[in-house]
């Protein structure tokens, strides 16, 4: 029996990346203090527009003019925690996609409880690692596709092999560089990029797979040109900006 073709092809991804760059979506980011600058640079290099305010008196206005929202729990000080509630309520009211990055939810009950409350407000995307996923959901990400316990959202589970999964199917992305684990805020920036793609593409499996593939391919290209983490970042940003349709179609390792 012939192997089933993937739900998303490299050509689909190249087309989605082109549409993302043309649309230049605005992503408002409530993210941790360590990740703000790098996340903004990743969005800009990829073709999007970032904003970062967490001021309670203006958060609704910024979310209102954005196309998508990132909620990252990396540093949950009082101001960010307060801003999260206003931001998610605004995004839900205006029907704008938002993503949850449940950073280190396994580390404290307070952080986990906040993440669980946010999950009840139905984010369009949850981007996490294996430990965070198991802490949030208490299930195996590789369980059968028709299992009723699977979350009613798109999950982007990143690791040595990235898994993107929702009710429409699942995709694996095998690109990426081990150096990415030695650069802070990589995952945080990826979540912002992915929700930007969701603002442009209604097929969330395609959108998330496109974002993760572009990001991982940029890691491949940066690794070949850099000498370590210090020189990796500028090459990575350049690759996000410069990867073209041919690079994507020829380089994407999907299954």
Q: Does any domain span residue 74?
A: yes
- Percent helix, strand, coil in the chain, to 5, is 50, 15, 35
- Tokens for 185, please give them: 């805020």
Residue with tokens 């931001």: 87
The answer on pLDDT for 68 being more than 60 is: yes
The answer on pLDDT for 192 being more than 80 is: yes
- Tokens for 208, please give them: 């998330």
Q: Does any domain span residue 1?
A: no
Provide mean pLDDT across the span 148-175: 92
- Helices H / strands E in the chain, number of each: 10, 8
Q: Does any domain span residue 197?
A: yes
Provide mean pLDDT across the span 187-193: 97
Q: Does any domain span residue 2?
A: no
Give the pLDDT score at 221.
Answer: 97
The answer on pLDDT for 161 being more than 70 is: yes
Give the pLDDT score at 150.
Answer: 75
Query: Residue 71 is part of a domain; what is its CATH number?
Result: 3.40.1190.20
Q: Does any domain span residue 238?
A: yes
Domains in the chain: how many in total?
1
Instruction: Name the band, by pLDDT with cuts 50, 70 and 90, for residue 2.
Output: very low
Q: What is the pLDDT of residues 24-66, one digit of tens each?
A: 999 999 999 999 999 999 999 999 999 999 998 999 999 999 9
Q: Does any domain span residue 7?
A: no
Q: Does any domain span residue 195?
A: yes
The answer on pLDDT for 227 being more than 60 is: yes
Provide mean pLDDT across the span 194-209: 98
Whole domain around residue 104: which residue ranges?
12-139+146-251
The answer on pLDDT for 3 being more than 60 is: no
Whole-number Å distance between alpha carbons of 211 and 48: 12
Q: Does any domain span residue 128?
A: yes
As a whole number of Å, the end-to-end CA separation of the chain is 17
């Amino acid at each position: 029996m012939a192997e089933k073709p993937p739900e998303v092809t490299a050509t689909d991804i190249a087309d989605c990346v082109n549409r993302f760059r043309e649309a230049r979506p605005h992503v408002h980011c409530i993210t941790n203090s360590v990740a703000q600058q790098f996340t903004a640079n990743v969005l800009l290099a990829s073709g999007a527009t970032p904003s970062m305010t967490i001021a309670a008196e203006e958060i609704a206005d910024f979310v209102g003019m954005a196309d998508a929202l990132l909620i990252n729990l990396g540093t949950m000080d009082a101001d960010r925690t307060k801003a999260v509630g206003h931001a998610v309520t605004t995004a839900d009211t205006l029907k704008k996609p938002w993503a949850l990055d449940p950073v280190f939810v396994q580390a404290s009950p307070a952080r986990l409880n906040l993440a669980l409350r946010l999950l009840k407000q139905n984010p369009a995307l949850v981007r996490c690692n294996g430990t965070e996923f198991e802490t949030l959901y208490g299930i195996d990400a590789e369980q059968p596709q028709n299992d009723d316990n699977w979350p009613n959202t798109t999950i982007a589970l990143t690791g040595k092999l990235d898994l993107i999964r929702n009710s429409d199917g699942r995709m694996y992305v095998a690109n990426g560089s081990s150096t990415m684990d030695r650069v802070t805020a990589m995952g945080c920036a990826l979540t912002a990029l992915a929700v930007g793609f969701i603002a442009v593409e209604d097929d969330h499996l395609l959108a998330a797979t496109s974002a993760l593939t572009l990001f991982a391919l940029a890691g491949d290209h940066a690794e070949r040109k850099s000498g370590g983490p210090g020189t990796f970042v500028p090459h990575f940003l350049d690759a996000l900006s410069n990867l073209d349709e041919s690079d994507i179609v020829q380089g994407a390792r999907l299954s």
